[in-house]
Structure 1
Amino acid sequence: MQTTKMLVLAMACAAIRFSDIAAQEPAGREAGAEDTVKIAQVALRRGLDWLKSAQRPDGSWSDTNFPALTALGLWAFARSDHPARQEVCSKAAEFVALYAQPDGGIYKPATAGRGSGGLSVYNTAVCMTALHAWDPAKYRALILKAREFMAGSQLVGDSPGAGGFGYEPPRPRADEARRLMERGDLSNTAWAMRAMRETQNAEDYREGAGKVDIDWAATIRFIEKLQNRDADDPENFGSFGYEPGGERGGTAQGKDGKVTLRGYGSMTYAALEAMIFAQLTREDPRVRSALEWASRHWSVDENPGMGLKGLFYYYNTMSKALTVAGADALTPPDGRTVPWKEQLVRKIAALQKPDGSWVNEDNQFWEGNPALVTSYAALALEYILGR
């Protein structure tokens, strides 16, 4: 309750500032902050109700070849005060734990090519974080093994991806398809960094040899390669692309013909979150320029640079990143103060289906999957509500 009251006050203050600047809002604008909290709470409860109804008897949601899809639902419920929290989380956690592998990862090995499993780094990162959020003591041994797997999955050497993480850990004599999945990218790197930071206190219980961790300095060296830092390209300055070279994330061409990584919303917020987890401050020029780009390209109607593709991943990443960065509002170049929490809550609520679920009309990145997208939306609302 105290957290909710503080959020109401903060949002009310932001609303008052916005009213003063815009001079277009009706009297009593500060009441809208409390309304926004209520809207978020109602939408969240409806979303969690839908997830409960969609959970299978074995505790899973969606495609069981990828336990991260169930772990995201577990994570959303673990952060909530839903009356069915214990029942739903217990079943989901037991299901996820079944996927723990001898190498420490939490995933289903691929058996018949694409779609049959794999993506071991991504799945492990999400699963270990969700299990830690639910019951860190019960699943401590599994989490400690997962941390070893993640540390061993970080790319090393002098390749462009060094310091980052791909969908799969590096393996000797990998074929071309495998090497593609091993290439470092910003999304998997951000998931890995969050997982390792959020579970770091598990290391206090590790027996024997020294504590296990990733090379945080190397992750930052990888991430900064993906930031557009050309001051002569103000449109892209501060934004982040998906991977070195831009083969999978795309490139952009400036007015001077110079080719840069295509920067877009979800990756810029993923980088912002990752940099904060790496303990960079908001005063760091890499962090500050990312926030400035986000302010210049503020939108809840699209994932800037991607349209509707990955829209709910964008919402989820945005809410996480701005929350951990302590950014209560954004300030675009025109001087407005954007109360991002209020605007995002209202947009997410407006997109909710009558049955309580969410789904993206653009199926790119699996966002036609209501279990995945509803988990993204629920988590975004929970970050905003301070849960």
Structure 2
Amino acid sequence: MWKNIGLFLVFSLLFHQSLLASSKEDLKKYEQAIYKGLKYLSKAQNKNGSFGTFPNAKEQGDVGITAVVLMAFGKAPHSFRKEFKDTIQGAVQYLLKYQQKDGGIYNPGRGLTNYHTATSLIALCYLDREKYKDAIKKAKEFLVKTQFSESYQNVKPDNLHYGGWDYKPKKGGLNADMSNVQFALEALHEAGLDPKSPVWQRAVKFLSRCQNRSESNDMKGFHILNDGGFMYYPGNSKAKPIKMKDGKMAYPSYASMTYAGLKSFIYAQVDKKDPRVQAAFNWIRKHYTLEENYGLGSRKNPKGGQQGLYYYYNTFAKALDAWGEKYIVTADGKKHFWAKELADKLVSLQKPEGYWVNENKRWWEGYPVLTTAYAVRALSVCLENMKKK
């Protein structure tokens, strides 16, 4: 009997060690994929430290693309950051060069000022909050100032854009959307905005109006589908609108914006048990997939789900990281180790040269520098989660 128990313990130990070895091999595989991606990105850097190429431009580079690339370097393992320190420093100097008097970080005349400032702020926070504290403070104040509210463009709470951000502050034009809002809130979260700031509650009002949930969405004039997912902004979706029997239009939820909504609720300190958060999470449980940006495809356009796929992977990783649970049980009862599943998917899609690219070119995803930056950050977030006990 004791001999059998001893053999059982030996085999159990060997089995456990084999699992650890497999896990270490997986981690090494993901780290190698990240390294190859960073290597590819470093070779794509312009002489002025920026990233992004624009034919006939006076100066090459773009603040937004440079910031997204820096987010990838900033989230990568520290040993890699040391190796690519010159690449990182050149890109940081480019961003700081374009910090404007109003605190925003953007290329004048190109628009996208809020989006570029938010991504730049996230990148600087990743890299060194103390070293870049002055630039971080100014950028944070810029985003706080440009949120649609009573104090900015005199936007009242009954306005559907209240609490949101759009691509570019401009007089007489309001066009807030979930993409700008998710990056602005992530940036303010990373920059340590006071949890008691009214910015958060104003943002929650906008988020609630983007959610297909009639109990908390007070917007009139369109049909709310009540599936708990998110549209692009109130009364607008990148998924195909539906005309209902009552004549009103409905704006379907889709994956990238629903994950963005979940992440944003969490950053805005809405409790995970809140019905709005639970509704978003249940939508994710029902439509969990890594094969497409669910909701953008249709019978007539089955490949539509490939639109914004790497943006989706990036948002998927950050949202479930914010959710804070290692496993997700989907509506069909299956248990998913989401970080490993996404990491394996990304590794399978990486090209031998180290880059990623989407065959569907919408939203710049045919440009491998951008998609590689999205993939590397997502993979690094997955790696962090897999290393947690």
TM-score normalised by structure 1 residue count: 0.80
- Report the equivalent of 2:122: 129
- Report the equivalent of 2:362: 364
Distance 1:330 1:234 in 2: 27
CA offset digits 1:95-142 (Å, max 9, x no partner) = 1111111111100122xxxxxx11100000001121122122232222
- Report the equivalent of 2:209: 225
- Relative to structure 1, the CA distance from residue 247 to residue 293 in structure 2 (aligned partners, 3 Å threshold; closer, same or farther) is closer
- Relative to structure 1, the CA distance from residue 36 to residue 257 in structure 2 (aligned partners, 3 Å threshold; closer, same or farther) is farther
Note if contact 1:236-1:263 (Cα within 8 Å) is conserved in structure 2.
no
Matches within 5 A, 1:33-48: 33-48=23-38
Q: Which amino acid aligns with 1:67?
A: V
Distance 1:358 1:308 in 2: 14
- Report the equivalent of 2:106: 107
Q: Which amino acid aligns with 1:354?
A: P
User: Is the radius of gyration larger for structure 1 or structure 2?
Assistant: 2
- Report the equivalent of 1:317: 315
State percent identity of aligned pairs: 36
Q: What stretches of structure 2 of length at least 5 have no aligned partner?
A: 1-15, 54-59, 150-155, 216-222, 297-304
Note if contact 2:263-2:323 (Cα within 8 Å) is conserved in structure 1.
yes
Residue number among 291, 295, 306 corresponding to 2:281 in the alignment: 291
Alpha-carbon RMSD: 2.7
- Relative to structure 1, the CA distance from residue 215 to residue 263 in structure 2 (aligned partners, 3 Å threshold; closer, same or farther) is same
Q: Which amino acid aligns with 1:104?
A: G
- Relative to structure 1, the CA distance from residue 247 to residue 240 in structure 2 (aligned partners, 3 Å threshold; closer, same or farther) is closer
CA offset digits 1:217-266 (Å, max 9, x no partner) = 010011011111259x9986111000111166653456988643210010
Distance 2:137 2:65 in 1: 21
Shift of 1:148: 1.8
SS at match of 2:335: coil
1:151 correspondence with 2:144: yes
Note if contact 2:63-2:95 (Cα within 8 Å) is conserved in structure 1.
yes
Note if contact 1:196-1:214 (Cα within 8 Å) is conserved in structure 2.
no
Note if contact 1:227-1:238 (Cα within 8 Å) is conserved in structure 2.
yes
SS at match of 1:224: helix
SS at match of 2:261: helix
SS at match of 1:200: coil
- Report the equivalent of 1:280: 270
Distance 2:139 2:229 in 1: 31
SS at match of 1:356: coil
Note if contact 1:147-1:212 (Cα within 8 Å) is conserved in structure 2.
no
Distance 2:345 2:75 in 1: 21
Matches within 5 A, 1:196-215: 196-200=188-192, 215=199
- Report the equivalent of 1:68: 64
Q: Which amino acid aligns with 1:200?
A: G
Distance 1:322 1:340 in 2: 8
Q: Which amino acid aligns with 2:33?
A: A
Q: Which amino acid aligns with 1:358?
A: W
Q: Which amino acid aligns with 1:61?
A: F
Shift of 1:38: 2.9
Shift of 1:35: 4.3
SS at match of 1:383: helix
Shift of 1:167: 0.6
Residue number among 243, 261, 275 corresponding to 1:271 in the alignment: 261
Matches within 5 A, 1:26-37: 33-37=23-27
1:98 correspondence with 2:97: yes
SS at match of 2:250: strand
Distance 1:247 1:342 in 2: 30
SS at match of 2:329: coil
Note if contact 1:357-1:374 (Cα within 8 Å) is conserved in structure 2.
yes
Query: Which deviates further from its counterpart, 32-41 or 373-382?
Result: 32-41
Q: Which amino acid aligns with 1:303?
A: N
Distance 2:224 2:168 in 1: 35
Distance 1:293 1:247 in 2: 16
Distance 1:385 1:323 in 2: 11
Distance 1:289 1:75 in 2: 30
- Report the equivalent of 1:21: none
